[in-house]
Each structure stands twice: as structure tokens, then as C-alpha cells.
Structure 1
Amino acid sequence: MALSVRPEEFSIERSDLLLFQMGKVGSSALAAAALDHGINCFHCHSLDYDSEAARLSRLFHREPNQILSALELRFLTKHTTLNMLIRWHKTNAASAGRKVKVISLTRDPVTRHVSHLLQRFDIRSLASWYRVVTGLSVVTDQDLTRAVTELWCQLARLVLESKPSVDFAKAYARGHAAAMSMSPPQPYLAQCFAQTVGPLGWFDQQFRPVFDLDIRDMPELAKGDIARRELTFADILVVRYEDLTRHLGAMAHFLGISSLELPPVNVTQKKAHAQTILAAARAFDATDLGRDFARELRESDYGRACGYDKLSNHS
């Protein structure tokens, strides 16, 4: 049995909804709304064998840590079970009313990389890196602003040099190699680089192998912020997160419910150091380096497929 957001509400009699996307991207509110309407709702970011095999390999080779191991095993179980759910639907194509429904919300890669930093923010890791590269400490909010800005400046230069807008796979490898060839090597910067450019390849690496759909072949997504595809075993809806509220009616129709309301909750704003980091992001975005960085991310295949390249062209 697959793991839903609220497992106690799972029922074989209900229809299945999979929130399959590159990150959280409003998933908690959407999952809660779906469950409230009697829909089995599941959420994950990975369904492919290679990702889960790598997760299992890390478990076998890292230092023993009960908490981390429990978390990794939870993800491994969840993703493996959901992979089985999708394969079951593929093998046992049901009637139109029982097909699995899949919603994937996209995200502007520029705002997404700031949001991800806040979601996973570890001031100790940032402070340690900042001390290595500058010899300075992070004590005050002003220090934090300088540290985050320095991180983004170095990250932006890596992105611009690696050019994910030209070739994502080569850029991913080139940026990681560049960070690790610095003196001393910069594993923290390499990790931040991977977290920033990684989502640009998510649809190719995760979505397309499962559903045999290429986001580049959905021109209506770039034009109208929403795209729908019907397969023999699944109905697919891809929506730009930034335009989510505008398409709640279409999403309700897709789910077969009368209406869909999402609570206006911005969890990111409540994270530790959020206001300091968001202010630093606004200041960085206004610089020439910040604008070039944004343009490079948005002009990737993913950015163009979703219409995010227009944001840089109009700024």
C-alpha cells in the first residue's frame, strides 16, 4: 500500500492522485485539499530506479546514523511503493474514471533556488564555508547578508561558466568539477550548485522516463501556464506554480470536484532568517550578475518550455 500524506485516510475505493514534482512547490496545501475531497493523495520527487539505488548505496556506505537512516529508508520505501503504484496502473489500465491522476507544478528556477535555500537552510554550513573562503565569521544579520551574497556571487559565476542553457548534462558536470577543483575544494559550493541547476533536468530525468512525455512538446504550458495530457493509464496536468490560483477551477475540473480552495500560506516567510535572506536575494537580483544568473537559468530548455525565459526578457 502506498503512503499518502494522511495514511489513515487511504481507501481502495477512492481515486488516486500523485503530486509528482521537483520540490514541495505548494504540495502540502494541495494534498490536504485533495484528501478533504476524498481523493487518495501521494507526493514524491523521484520514481526512478537509479535515484533509489543511489539512496540505498549511501545507506550502506555512510557512517551509521539512526535518524538519517530512518529518513532515507522512509523515502526509499515511499518512492519504491509509488513506483509500483504507477506500474500497476500501466499494466492494469482502468476505466477513464479510475485512471491515476498526476499533477506537477513547475517553479521559476530563480525564485526556486532562494526558496530551497530557506527550506534547507543550515547557518552552520554556510558560516563554515564563508570562514574558509573569506576568513570572516557570521555573527550578525549583516554578516549573514554578506555571506549569502558571497555564496550567490560564486554560485552565479559557476552557472554562467557552465552554461546550463546550452547543455544541461555537461553544465552539471562542469560546474561540480569546477567547484571541487578550487583550492581548497568547495563541496558546499558544489552542493549548492547541484541544488540550483538540478531542477532544470528534473523533467528529463524523472518525469519523461515514467510517462514518456517531453515538457518541450507542451507549447501551451509556455503560452498559457497549464498543459494537460491523457494517457491510457494516467491523466496528467502540469501547471506553473506562479499561476496556480488562476487555474484552481481547471484543477478542480481535472480532479472531478466542484471547487478547489488552497489556504494562502507562505511557509517560506516563516523560516529562520527568512527576512534577511529574502532581502539579500532582492538586492542580488538587482545587480548585473544577478540578472545574468537569472537569464541563464530561465533560458535553459526547462525554463523556455515553461515560459520562464519571458520573465528575464521583460525585466
Structure 2
Amino acid sequence: MGIKGKIKNAVVYNLCRSYILAKWINILSLKQTYKKNESGVVIFQMGKVGSSSIYESLKAAQLEIPIYHAHVLTSDRLKATEELARTHWQPCRNPIHLWHSFILSDELRKRHQQKWKVITLVRDPIARNVSAFFETLHLLEKSNQQKLMTSNDGQDLTQLFLSKFYAHDAPINWFDDELKPVFEIDVF
């Protein structure tokens, strides 16, 4: 990499230390990948169900249609998820999924008359919640995280999972809270 590339990377890295600037830079970049006036395939489901594998496989197939991937699209959930991302902002962990969701939500509103192909996935609710718990453990228990991760005593983790993990009902409510209001699909 030449000196210009190194300078550009250093500038972008330092700009991205701010959540607002990182979001702005990434959304501008992401918008370039969206094909205007063309609906595509939307992979839309709760997190921790294996959707990244489906998304990456479809992208690798180099289809002639856009592929979108999101976990939340309703304005209330987008706001709540963004607040969580801002509160726990880490420059090395950009919430690209969230920023994709903002763009996709906007595109769906603009083009609500177009037909979209929607892929949604499910997973055993307990396995999904355990996976989500370990991914977000650093948000739940910063002070004791290292102790919890190295402890041989599963009781501490079990207690934390049962008492502080916020999303026990996510697998039950996600379809009614997210899929139904956005796409007017009632799976039940």
C-alpha cells in the first residue's frame, strides 16, 4: 500500500472513532451498492439464526438482483438498536447490519408498491438465545466478564442469563414485532 493509501486509511480510521461520522461514512458507501428502483431478495430475520451464511452464499452466487440483509426494520427497533450501538460504541465493531437496516427500511418505504422476495429463517429458541447471550455478554456484565468466561462454575453464567439477558421472548415475538408490520405477512 502506498503512502496515499496509508494516509487515507488513517484519516478514515480516526474519523470512524466517532459513531456519527462512522455511520455517515458507511451509509454513504453502502448507498452506492443499492440499485435504485430494483427490488431484490431481502434476508430478514432475528439475529443468531444463521442468516449470514445465507447472505454470503447468495452474494457469492453473483446474482443479477440486489441481496439485502437485516434483523430490524421497524422505526422503533431501529432507534432502540442504534441507541444500544451508540452507548457501547467501539470503532473496531461497526454495526454494519444496523446501517444496512436504515437504508433498507428507507428503500422499502419509498418502494412499498414493489414486490420483494423475502427469506426468513428460524432456529430453536433456546439455542438462539444462548448464542445471543454469549455474543452480548460484554454488554451485560463488563466488570465480571473475564471471571465469568473463565469460570468452571456454570451457575454464575446461568444466573446472569436468567436475570439480566433481555431477549428471552425475542424468538416468540419477532415475527409479530418485525415481519408483520414491515411486510404485512402474518406467519401465524
TM (norm. structure 1) is 0.41
Higher RCO by CA contacts (8 Å cutoff, separation 6 or greater): 2
Structure 2 match to 1:205: 177
Return the index of the structure with the highest Cα Rg. Answer: 1
> What do you get for the CA RMSD once the two structures are aligned?
3.9
Structure 2 match to 1:109: 125
Q: Which amino acid aligns with 1:145?
A: N
| 2:152 aligned with 1:145 | yes
Shift of the 8–66 alpha-carbon distance from structure 1 to 2, 3 Å rule, reads same
**Which one of 83, 94, 110 corresponds to residue 71 of structure 1?**
94
CA distance in structure 2 between the partners assigned to 1:14 and 1:106 by the alignment: 27
Q: Is the contact between residue 25 and residue 105 of structure 1 (CA under 8 Å) also seen in structure 2?
A: yes
Write the deviation string for residues 197-248 of structure 1: whole angstroms up to 9, x where unpaired.
22321111111111222221xxxxxxxxxxxxxxxxxxxxxxxxxxxxxxxx
Query: Superposition pairs for residues 34-45 of structure 1, below 5 Å?
Result: 34-35=58-59, 36-38=61-63, 39-45=65-71
Query: Superposition pairs for residues 214-293 of structure 1, below 5 Å?
Result: 214-216=186-188
Deviation at 1:122, TM superposition (A): 3.7
Deviation at 1:110, TM superposition (A): 1.2
Q: Which amino acid aligns with 1:53?
A: K
Q: Is the contact between residue 34 and residue 40 of structure 1 (CA under 8 Å) also seen in structure 2?
A: no
Shift of the 86–124 alpha-carbon distance from structure 1 to 2, 3 Å rule, reads closer
Structure 1 match to 2:57: 33
**Which one of 70, 79, 94 corresponds to residue 53 of structure 1?**
79
Shift of the 111–101 alpha-carbon distance from structure 1 to 2, 3 Å rule, reads same
Q: Is the contact between residue 72 and residue 178 of structure 2 (CA under 8 Å) also seen in structure 1?
A: yes
Q: Aligned residue pairs: how many?
A: 158
SS where residue 49 of structure 2 aligns? coil
Shift of the 86–105 alpha-carbon distance from structure 1 to 2, 3 Å rule, reads same
Write the deviation string for residues 39-67 of structure 1: whole angstroms up to 9, x where unpaired.
3211111111112233555678x59x562
What stretches of structure 2 of length at least 5 have no aligned partner? Answer: 1-26
CA distance in structure 2 between the partners assigned to 1:114 and 1:125 by the alignment: 15
Q: Which amino acid aligns with 1:104?
A: T
CA distance in structure 2 between the partners assigned to 1:210 and 1:101 by the alignment: 13
CA distance in structure 2 between the partners assigned to 1:154 and 1:120 by the alignment: 12
Query: Superposition pairs for residues 175-214 of structure 1, below 5 Å?
Result: 189-190=163-164, 192=165, 194-214=166-186
Percent of residue pairs bearing the same amino acid type: 26
TM (norm. structure 2) is 0.63
Whichever structure has more helix as a proportion of its residues is 1
